[in-house]
Every structure is written in structure tokens, then in C-alpha cells.
Amino acid sequence: MGAQMTITVRYFASLREALGSTEQVDAAGLSLAQLRDRLIASSEAHATVLARGRAVRCALNKQMCDESVVIQDGAEVAFFPPVTGG
């Protein structure tokens, strides 16, 4: 078991309305996919807005990335719906 690693998770747009703007999470060596699954399991609100069937984009330290990326200590993870524009 490694040391506890705290990261900041930020939510934007409709996700922020449901979950609030930020939370601190222990995510020692997890990938973004594993973090998302842990968040989904943490509450009904998380399960609803982060559900696997929903399109949710993610960024690590303000860079768009794939959910396979492993999170480092002190990182900032952001989840947000796909951007639509016209």
C-alpha cells in the first residue's frame, strides 16, 4: 500500500451543477478511468453524471487526455461534458 496521494478534482458545466466545483480525492497511482470508476461508486450523484454511458471529457493538469493516463500526486483532474458550439 503506497502513501496517500491527494489530487484535486474539478467539475465544469452541468457536472459542476450536480457535484459542486471541486473535491479532494485520494488517488494513489490510479488511472483516470480508475478514478472515474471510484467516483461513480462514491455517490448516486457521481454515478448519474459520470456514468460510463455518458460522454464525459477529462483533463489532467489542464491538458486533455485519455483515461488510461496515471495520476501523479498533487495533480489536478477536470471532468466536463463535451463542448458544443455553433
pLDDT score at 16: 96
pLDDT score at 67: 94
The 3 state secondary structure assigned to 11-62 is: ECCHHHHHHCCEEEEECCCCEHHHHHHHHHHHCHHHHHHCCCCCCCEEEECC
- What are the chain's domains? 6-80 (3.10.20.30)
pLDDT score at 28: 73
pLDDT score at 4: 75
Block means of pLDDT (10 residues each) for the chain, 86 residues, are: 80 95 91 97 97 94 94 94 70
